[in-house]
Amino acid sequence: MFELIVGLGNPGKKYASTLHNIGFMVVDACLSSQQPQWKEKFGGLYCQGTMQNHQLHFLKPQTFMNLSGEAVAPFLRWHKFPVENMLVIHDEVDLEFGVIRLKKDGGAGGHNGLRSIIQHSGEHFWRLRVGVDKAPQGDLSDYLLSPIRQALLDPLIEEGCQALECIFSLGPLKAQNYINQKKS
């Protein structure tokens, strides 16, 4: 089972309500009732929390998205967690808005945060992919890094939290089947 949950995003208020920060938002929402005590270490904010009675570490890299691996790798090494025991929550432009998928292993698929983690720690980790769709028009980075209405973010955050609860209720393999068959 997992020992580390990583939510990807960019630090700072400028990026707080952007699609690229969905990993941060899902982690924050899932832990909100636990009132986590975030601490800084290894270029990230981390805390301990529980999911379905499982004690876990949570990490939000503060290195900016493209350098996420620079915070994740030392955290894994320090705690002696194998990369296979890590779940990364991130935005996914190759999925329709609101579609959630659970996947193990694989490449970065054009996601620079994943690319950095793979470069520093390897590719054998789980990913909770939160579909944000491609930019309807214009530049992808503008689309991902521009603030959007909370009313659009809330369902994504809720779906991400439900998927995380499912993973810890059923285990990753059964949850993968359930989550990946679910319609948007």
Provide the annotated active-site residues: 20
Torsion of CA 105, 109, 114, 119, to 10 degrees: 80
Give the pair of three-digit tokens for residue 160.
């991400």
Residue with structure tokens 């301990």? Answer: 48
Determine the Cα–Cα distance for residues 176 and 104; give it in Å rounded to an integer.
9
Give the pair of three-digit tokens for residue 96.
């329709």
Give the pair of three-digit tokens for residue 180.
């990946």
Determine the Cα–Cα distance for residues 140 and 93; give it in Å rounded to an integer.
9
Beta-carbon contacts of 184 under 8 Å, excluding residues fewer than 6 positions away, are 96, 97, 98, 99, 131
Return the half-sphere exposure (C-beta side, CA atoms, 13 A cut-off) of residue 96. Answer: 5
Residue with structure tokens 């929550």? Answer: 89
